[in-house]
Amino acid sequence: MKTARAAWRRLEPVHAMIYFVPEGRRRYAALGLSGRTGYFASRSAAFGPASAELVISTFYNFNPDFVRQAIGGAWEATTPQQVLDARYAAAAEALRRAGIHELPALDEVLTLARRAAEAACEHAQGRPLFAAHAALPWPEEPVLQLWHAQTLLREFRGDGHVACLLSEGVGGLEALILHAATGEAPVDFLKASRAWPEEEWAGTRERLRERGLLDGDSLSSDGVLLRRHIEDRTDRLALPAYAALGDAGCERLAELASPFGHAVVEAGLLKFG
């Protein structure tokens, strides 16, 4: 389970950069999608003309009012296919800027990641965001194939994570605050990107304290245990994809993926704003 998580985490920057790079913002803006509308429309376009309520339910931890405002009118300005085309073009352009296409292990990393992604496709039940992306055709260009494979693995894991949060009675804002309490992500970034009003953030934080999950702004011992339980369950739910590689394959993917993640970071592809 640890090797599978390492394989996912080290390659994840290859997918995650699409939410930050200017290549995406420029192409979405050219379609009439400004600001966060581009994010919500591009990630949900695999559904077709997704409603705000579908985005709210599957993205999980964004302020619903923010989603309704951002996604409203998106499908009057453009079409899901145009947005998907823009997203893939932006991903290819950004990853080339990072030099991903020149890394010597690209073929082997792609083979391993695609094998895991295709194995995940046999377990799509109950994973709506993953299933929508899994139904898209595979790109022809190797760099985009790698991006698509990691996109599938990310959404496969993400849908499982949402299921774990639901089963533990942890709502979207609660999950954000518990994540912030780990210190793994800046609070200001989480507040700005998810757009929850300060009063709702403060009220939910207080309720988590009353539940004994927070000690001040940090996780309590019970909060640490709950977070660990949720992350461990998320890892287990992601295993059907990585089981196709076996431990040796996961170790090999984790080893080879490091330069890919580093290239994305060093090129500045994950800078917010």
pLDDT 10s digits, 224-258: 999 999 999 999 999 999 999 999 999 999 999 99
Residue written as tokens 């959404």? 155
For the beta carbon of residue 223, count every other beta carbon within 10 angstroms.
Answer: 21
CA angle 136–2–117, rounded 5-degree value: 15
Six token digits for residue 265: 């970071």
- Res. 186: pLDDT tops 70: yes
Q: Quote the pLDDT of residue 273.
A: 60
Going by C-alpha positions, the residue among 1, 89, 79 that lies closest to residue 41 is: 79
Residue 273 lies in a domain: no
Domain hosting 252: range is 2-266
Residue 244 lies in a domain: yes
Residue 272 lies in a domain: no
Annotate 106-119 with b (16+ C-beta within 10 A) or e (fewer): beebbebbbbbbeb
**Are the CB atoms for 112 and 252 separated by under 8 Å?**
yes
pLDDT digits (tens, 9 = 90+) for 188-222: 889 988 999 999 999 999 999 999 999 999 999 99
Instruction: Report the distance separating Cα 91 and Cα 17, nearest Å.
Output: 8
- Res. 133: pLDDT tops 70: yes
Instruction: Report the distance separating Cα 62 and Cα 172, nearest Å.
Output: 7
Q: What is the mean pLDDT of residues 162-168?
A: 97
- Res. 142: pLDDT tops 80: yes
- Count of structural domains, the chain: 1
The overall average pLDDT reported for the chain is 96
Instruction: Report the distance separating Cα 13 and Cα 4, nearest Å.
Output: 16
Q: Quote the pLDDT of residue 32.
A: 97
**Are the CB atoms for 42 and 154 separated by under 8 Å?**
no
Residue 31 lies in a domain: yes
How many residues are given for the chain? 273
Q: Quote the pLDDT of residue 2.
A: 83
Q: Report the predicted TM-score, pTM, of the whole model to 2 decimal places.
A: 0.95
Instruction: Report the distance separating Cα 163 and Cα 168, nearest Å.
Output: 9
Q: Enumerate residues 6+ apart whose C-beta is below 8 A from 255.
A: none
Residue 214 lies in a domain: yes
Q: Enumerate residues 6+ apart whose C-beta is below 8 A from 100.
A: 14, 106, 143, 146, 260, 263, 264
Q: Quote the pLDDT of residue 81.
A: 98
